[in-house]
Amino acid sequence: MSALPAGSRAPAIAQAVSYARDPLGFLAARQRRYGDIFSVNFPFFGRVVYVARPDLVKEVFTGPPAVFHAGEANATVLEPALGPNSVLTLDDEPHMRQRKLLLPPFHGERVERYGELIAETTRKEMESWPIGEPFALRPHTQRITLAVIMRAVFGVHDEARLDRFGRLIDDFAKRVGVITSFPMLRRNLGPGSPWPRFQRSRAALDEFIYEEIRLRRAAPGYEERDDVLSLLLSARDEEGEAMSDQELRDELVTVLGAGHETTATGLAWAIERLVRNPGVLVKLRDSLASGEEDYLAATVKETLRARPVIVDVARKLKAPATVGGYDLPAGQFVLPAIAALHYREDLFPEPERFRPERFLDGKADNYAWIPFGGGVRRCIGAAFAEYEMRLILREFMEGAELRPVDPEPERVRVRNITLAPAKGTMVVAAA
Ligand code: HEM
């Protein structure tokens, strides 16, 4: 078949508005209406194709990386922030080179060396929670994950420098949102307009990062340190080449950008779901009190199923390819619809229910549970993120008694490219 899969004929802008209002519901409803492969017309991107069945997702994730370009697809949104050398915006050989250099520090058990740092940072942040009055949890989870990533990735421990760094990142993150969401704003419309403001905040952040790279290179014995910047400075590719400063900058900003807002939002959702499901909350506390870890791990997985922080991942076809029996042309965007897949009744019975038990027996299927994407582009920080979420959740469970401000679930709101709880997870901590 050479026509594109079925989809709504509504104008692109109307589809974008429906998507922005409720991305979770939007994709699941399209899948129910048009089937497991469907198309959606968006402004700027044109008609894109979504797949929402494990065998189709597998076709996309295991398709030849030279044809299924993720870097090119990501770059349309992320390149102004991350740069041309980021593992997220590259494809083919250059992508694999960066990926191999970046993987070791985030691999499986290696992330456990950050355990004490994560627990300590969490306990310190919890001291600032108000008692007995409503507050939004998300800014707190974000402060924790940001502090962790600044220390774990950059190895910055000096409080004054951390403060300055944190402010630069905050400012940068604020400016990035509008630039990534509205590509048409990427030009100078006057000094106060979004693009020059974004460029100024990027220049300030870059200056700090290049200075950090210079200081670290000059520091005696950095080869012995275990933060990611030091590891990347010592890393060599297969030809024995080190990373250039520009490559280092792009990877560091990538890890910062990809690594703290996502995890903070995942944690905010975990608490948003837990306080509205007291049975699950009690079970989690009891399991932790008896020294049991499996229910905690399952709770994290169920959170990322029911509230995937990222709703879809994109590939742009470099050459024509067949997906689900459709012959798609070069240039076509194809996206596994994470949100639709996670709400399939046949894969996750009673998908609306928050039920960690579904992850207790057996591993999550590679092509059904995909909050971290897949194939050669699967999230490099997945082990780190799940580990960090488990540790922080445990500290929250052991150190505080939380209840929701409103019994109604919080709505989903698009925040940069992530899905966040609309009110930032409003809770009250008991005295
Ligand atoms: C709950 C937290 C997180 C979620 C939901 C998440 C999700 C994702 C997703 C969906 C992708 C795209 C995968 C694809 O295209 O198939 C991705 C890629 C990536 N993530 Fe994460 N991520 C999280 C945390 C992290 C952390 C903590 C780091 C770093 C420490 C990180 C670093 C990256 C990098 C470098 C890539 C690019 C991989 C590549 O293109 O080869 N992420 N992530």
Using the atom order of ligand 1, give the atom closest to the CA of residue 266: 1
Residue 82, number of CB atoms within 10 A of its CB: 26
Using the atom order of ligand 1, give the atom closest to the CA of residue 385: 27
Which residue type, as a one-letter code, is found at position 17?
Answer: V
CA distances in angstroms from 293 to 20, 118, 199, 249, 365, listed in the order given: 36, 17, 45, 37, 20
Residue identifier of the C-alpha nearest atom 43 of ligand 1: 379
Residues of the chain with pLDDT under 50: none
* Bridge-based pairing state of the strands 37-42 and 68-69: unpaired
Residue identifier of the C-alpha nearest atom 31 of ligand 1: 381
CA distances in angstroms from 182 to 164, 178, 201, 333, 340, listed in the order given: 28, 6, 18, 18, 24
pLDDT at 431 (0 to 100): 73
Report how far residue 91's alpha carbon sits from residue 70's, in angstroms, rounded to the nearest whole number: 7
Q: What is the pLDDT of residues 179-200, one digit of tens each?
A: 676 777 777 777 788 888 888 9
CB neighbour list of residue 170: distance below 8 Å, 6 or more residues apart: none
Q: By the 8 A CB rule, do 266 and 135 touch?
A: no
Using the atom order of ligand 1, give the atom closest to the CA of residue 309: 5
* Centre of ligand 1 from the C-alpha of residue 377, in Å: 8
Residue to substitute in 111, 315, 379 for testing ligand 1 pocket (most ligand atoms within 8 angstroms of CB): 379
Residue identifier of the C-alpha nearest atom 7 of ligand 1: 372
* Centre of ligand 1 from the C-alpha of residue 310, in Å: 9
* Centre of ligand 1 from the C-alpha of residue 372, in Å: 6
* Centre of ligand 1 from the C-alpha of residue 130, in Å: 32
* Centre of ligand 1 from the C-alpha of residue 373, in Å: 8
Measuring from each residue's beta carbon to the nearest atom of ligand 1, which residues come in under 6 Å? 70, 87-88, 99, 106, 254-255, 258-259, 262-263, 266, 309-310, 313, 371-374, 377-381, 384-385
Q: What is the pLDDT of residues 391-404, one digit of tens each?
A: 999 999 999 999 99
Q: Which conformational region is residue 240 in: left (phi greater than 0), alpha (psi within -120 to 50 degrees), or beta?
A: left
Reference 370, options 309, 411, 322, 326; nearest CA is 309
Q: What is the dihedral of CA 107, 318, 253, 27, to 10 degrees?
A: -80
Give the global pTM. Answer: 0.94
pLDDT at 1 (0 to 100): 66
Using the atom order of ligand 1, give the atom closest to the CA of residue 149: 30
Using the atom order of ligand 1, give the atom closest to the CA of residue 336: 16
- Phi and psi at residue 260, in whole multiples of 5°? -115, -40
* Centre of ligand 1 from the C-alpha of residue 306, in Å: 18
pLDDT at 390 (0 to 100): 97
What percent helix, strand, coil does the chain show, rounded to 5? Answer: 55, 10, 35
Residue identifier of the C-alpha nearest atom 17 of ligand 1: 379
Report how far residue 181's alpha carbon sits from residue 416's, in angstroms, rounded to the nearest whole number: 7
